[in-house]
């Protein structure tokens, strides 16, 4: 009796996922974390209006969600001053990236990204058999010039740029991103991941014509809006590309509660402004805690701070393990030289009290 016959591509892929979740680590340790500051979730929660909308929609959970996501797409379009034909909603940016790669990049097609950039994108590229080409960061930031040069060299179909960036929290001004478009090779699509744009300073979001076929912008309700558990993201692009999503997307991927929650969250911009203020205060405190321990916090336009541990990746990993062992969930970049840092999500005052207690202990245990 034979088992399932995987494709040659799937057989060749490793048994791996981009991230090991905190729940997995808690099960391995046999206890819960005291503070969860590693997944860049919003510890400040969703809008109460979103919670109420989801509760009301729970009674309708016996029905599938609207496969056209009509109301949510219309609200997003109005928020951005575009038409619903420019908007596609999906299961978080991760889900949208998977659909996009499936549409654009097949076996042997060239795709360009950065060493250390968001690994889920790479996961999808590998899963559909495309060829991934990576360039180094420069000064702890994505390097637009290097991305463009590599894209021209290999004839890339997709060029991935996160602005602001994960895992470093760095960012480029809008003009820098705008200048990338005319420099793209013919037929290339800029995948502009703006997951953290709601938390970035003024002047970060580029001004791009909604019908420009050279770019697709990806946004999320997981960060500033505090709805990571719902998995709601959306794409902004020219209508021809948006229509193409209908050919391969999961048409019932967005449940009724998710659509209702995101719709109510978008309508509550006062709550988003409140979250921005809390994130800013948390970043300042993380910076102060780092400085009190002789470490340097990098400037951040996100809801996390990358903290330079001052040595190499081995030392930073020892600090990370010391924090995990003491009940503090944080993460770190995976590749040198970024891996000299640990990455700490913005948290509540109680969360940061745990950080203030645990960090010096972890540094001492690591030999710092």
* 210 & 102 share domain: yes
- 196 touches 222 (CB < 8 A): no
* 182 & 241 share domain: yes
Query: Do the domain assignments include residue 13?
Result: no
Q: What is the CATH number of the domain that holds 342?
A: 3.90.1150.10
- Indicate whether 319 pLDDT > 90: yes
Domain extent, residue 315, equals: 20-45+270-366
- Indicate whether 17 pLDDT > 80: no
User: 150-206 pLDDT, tens per residue?
Assistant: 999 999 999 999 999 999 999 999 999 999 999 999 999 999 999 999 999 999 999
Q: What is the pLDDT of residue 368?
A: 63
* 243 & 341 share domain: no
* 217 & 72 share domain: yes
Buried b / exposed e across 211-240, counting CB within 10 Å, b at 16+?
eeebbbbbbbbbbbbbbbebbbbbbbbbbe
* 202 & 277 share domain: no
Query: Do the domain assignments include residue 164?
Result: yes
Grade residue 3 by pLDDT with cuts at 50, 70 and 90: confident
Query: Do the domain assignments include residue 11?
Result: no
The total number of structural domains that make up the chain: 2
User: 104-139 pLDDT, tens per residue?
Assistant: 999 999 999 999 999 999 999 999 999 999 999 999
Query: Do the domain assignments include residue 120?
Result: yes
User: 246-280 pLDDT, tens per residue?
Assistant: 999 999 999 999 999 999 999 999 999 999 999 99
For 33, other C-beta atoms within 10 Å of its C-beta total 20
The stretch 344-363 carries a mean pLDDT of 98
The stretch 66-78 carries a mean pLDDT of 97
By DSSP bridging, strand 131-135 and strand 233-236 are unpaired
Query: Do the domain assignments include residue 257?
Result: yes
Boundary (domain end) residue, out of 267, 291, 307: 267
Q: What is the 3-state secondary structure (H, E, C) of 240-298?
A: HHHHHHCCCCCCCCCCHHHHHHHHHHHHCHHHHHHHHHHHHHHHHHHHHHHHHCCCEEC
* 52 & 32 share domain: no
* 41 & 66 share domain: no
* 309 & 197 share domain: no
User: 21-39 pLDDT, tens per residue?
Assistant: 889 898 988 999 999 999 9
Boundary (domain end) residue, out of 234, 267, 300: 267
* 177 & 29 share domain: no
Q: What is the pLDDT of residue 117?
A: 93
Query: Do the domain assignments include residue 247?
Result: yes
* 127 & 275 share domain: no
CA angle 159, 166, 127 (to 5 degrees): 50
Query: Do the domain assignments include residue 14?
Result: no
Query: Do the domain assignments include residue 12?
Result: no
- Indicate whether 60 pLDDT > 70: yes
* 190 & 303 share domain: no
The stretch 315-330 carries a mean pLDDT of 97
- 22 touches 316 (CB < 8 A): no
Grade residue 239 by pLDDT with cuts at 50, 70 and 90: very high
* 26 & 113 share domain: no
The stretch 297-306 carries a mean pLDDT of 98
Boundary (domain end) residue, out of 238, 267, 296: 267
155 sits in the region (left: phi over 0; alpha: psi -120 to 50; else beta) called left
Grade residue 13 by pLDDT with cuts at 50, 70 and 90: confident
- Which residues are CB-contacts of 59 (< 8 A; sequence separation ≥ 6)? none
The stretch 312-317 carries a mean pLDDT of 96
Q: What is the CATH number of the domain that holds 219?
A: 3.40.640.10
Average pLDDT score over the chain: 96
């Amino acid at each position: 009796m034979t088992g399932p016959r995987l494709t040659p591509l799937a057989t060749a892929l490793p048994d791996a996922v981009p991230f090991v979740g905190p729940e997995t680590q808690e099960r391995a340790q046999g206890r819960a974390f005291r503070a969860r500051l590693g997944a860049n979730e919003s510890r400040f929660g969703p809008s109460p209006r979103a919670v109420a909308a989801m509760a009301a929609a729970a009674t309708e959970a016996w029905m599938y969600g609207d496969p056209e996501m009509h109301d949510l797409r219309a609200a997003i379009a109005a928020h951005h001053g575009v038409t619903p034909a420019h908007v596609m909603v999906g299961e978080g940016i991760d889900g949208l990236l998977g659909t996009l790669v499936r549409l654009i990049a097949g076996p042997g097609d060239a795709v360009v990204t950065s060493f250390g950039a968001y690994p889920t994108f790479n996961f999808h590229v590998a899963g559909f058999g495309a060829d991934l080409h990576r360039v180094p960061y420069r000064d702890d930031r994505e390097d637009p010039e290097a991305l463009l040069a590599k894209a021209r060299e290999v004839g890339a179909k997709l060029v991935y740029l996160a602005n602001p960036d994960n895992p470093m929290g760095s960012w480029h001004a809008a003009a820098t991103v705008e200048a990338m478009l005319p420099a793209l090779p013919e037929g290339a699509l800029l995948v502009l991941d703006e997951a953290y744009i709601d938390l970035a300073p003024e002047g970060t979001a580029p001004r791009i014509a909604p019908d420009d076929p050279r770019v697709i912008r990806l946004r999320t309700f997981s960060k500033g809006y505090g709805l990571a558990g719902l998995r709601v993201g959306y794409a902004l692009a020219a209508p021809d590309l948006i229509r193409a999503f209908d050919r391969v997307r999961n048409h019932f991927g967005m449940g009724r509660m998710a659509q209702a929650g995101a719709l109510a969250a978008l309508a509550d911009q006062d709550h988003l402004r409140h979250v921005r203020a809390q994130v800013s205060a948390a970043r300042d405190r993380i910076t102060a805690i780092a400085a009190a321990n002789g470490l340097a916090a990098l400037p951040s336009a996100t809801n996390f701070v990358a903290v330079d541990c001052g040595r190499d990746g081995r030392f930073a990993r020892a600090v990370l393990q010391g924090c995990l062992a003491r009940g503090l969930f944080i993460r770190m970049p995976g590749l040198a030289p970024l891996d000299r840092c640990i990455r700490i999500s913005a948290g509540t005052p109680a969360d940061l009290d745990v950080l203030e207690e645990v960090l010096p202990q972890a540094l001492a245990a690591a030999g710092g």
